[in-house]
């Protein structure tokens, strides 16, 4: 993907919650999938700049990816980018007559980002 979201210096130990929407393409049908997004993290000196994060999320619009893999990819990427104490990514979406919520949380030392 293109350039990732920007970060800035911020105090440690702050719990931050970012909510919005993300769109991707269903890997099974090719139809657009729309998800409610919630990202929670506890800072260790780096914070996410919201507008660049929103722009970065828009890059998933044409990416064929499952809801589960999308939550994982976003979480692993943010863990590497921010090195927070913990980061949790929650995606909620409707698939036919079913509502599905997927949550991926990771804590501890930074991990390598997945290829997005």
Position 116 scores a pLDDT of 42
Give me the tens of pLDDT residue by residue for the chain, a chain 116 residues long: 457 899 999 999 999 999 999 999 999 999 999 999 999 999 999 999 999 999 999 999 999 999 999 999 999 999 999 999 999 999 999 998 999 999 999 986 644 444 44
Are the C-beta atoms of 95 and 32 separated by less than 8 Å? no
**Which pLDDT score, from 0 to 100, does residue 3 have?**
79
**Which domains, and CATH codes, for the chain?**
22-107 (3.30.1130.10)
> pLDDT value at position 108?
67
Length of the chain: 116
pLDDT, residue 109, reads: 63
Integer Cα distance of 64 and 61 in angstroms: 8
């Amino acid at each position: 993907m293109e350039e990732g979201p920007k970060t800035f210096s911020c105090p440690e130990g702050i719990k931050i919650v970012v909510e919005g929407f993300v769109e991707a393409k269903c890997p099974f049908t090719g139809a657009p999938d729309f998800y409610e997004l919630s990202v929670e993290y506890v800072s260790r000196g780096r914070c996410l700049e919201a507008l660049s994060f929103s722009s970065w999320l828009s890059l998933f619009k044409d990416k064929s990816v499952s809801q589960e893999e999308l939550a994982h990819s976003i979480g692993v990427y943010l863990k590497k980018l921010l090195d927070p104490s913990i980061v949790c990514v929650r995606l909620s979406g409707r698939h036919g007559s079913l509502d599905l919520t997927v949550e991926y949380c990771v804590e501890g030392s930074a991990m390598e980002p997945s290829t997005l």
